[in-house]
Amino acid sequence: MSSPGLPPWARPVAAVGVRETRHRLASLRTQEQELPQLRGFRREVAARTCVRLRRETRLQLQAMRQLLHALCD
């Protein structure tokens, strides 16, 4: 992650957050690929969980961007 305006002490913290978020998105993609194998109630629960996790991850990324912009300014 390249953030020239970010203080040196904050770069590792930002990098960890980005890595964790990328890992969560990769895990979510794997879960979504397994949805067609499920049937009935289990599929519905898994689909709703994927939607919720995607929404939460999107909000987390937005918060991380706002924090990085605040730190860089």
Per-residue model confidence as pLDDT tens digits over 40-70:
999 999 999 999 999 999 898 888 888 877 7
Over 80: is that where the pLDDT of 5 sits?
no
Predicted local distance difference test score (pLDDT) of residue 1: 46
Is 5 domain-assigned?
no
At 4, the pLDDT band (50, 70, 90 cuts) reads low
pTM, whole model, 2 decimals? 0.69
The candidate with the shortest Cα–Cα distance to 43, out of 22, 26, 54, 51, is: 51
Q: How many angstroms separate the CA atoms of 11 and 13, rounded?
A: 5
Is 51 domain-assigned?
yes
Q: Is the dihedral of CA 59, 64, 70, 73 positive or negative?
A: negative
Number of domains in the chain: 1
What is the domain range of residue 36?
A: 11-72
Is 2 domain-assigned?
no
Higher pLDDT: 16 or 70? It is 16
User: What percent of the chain shows pLDDT beyond 70?
Assistant: 93
Is 6 domain-assigned?
no
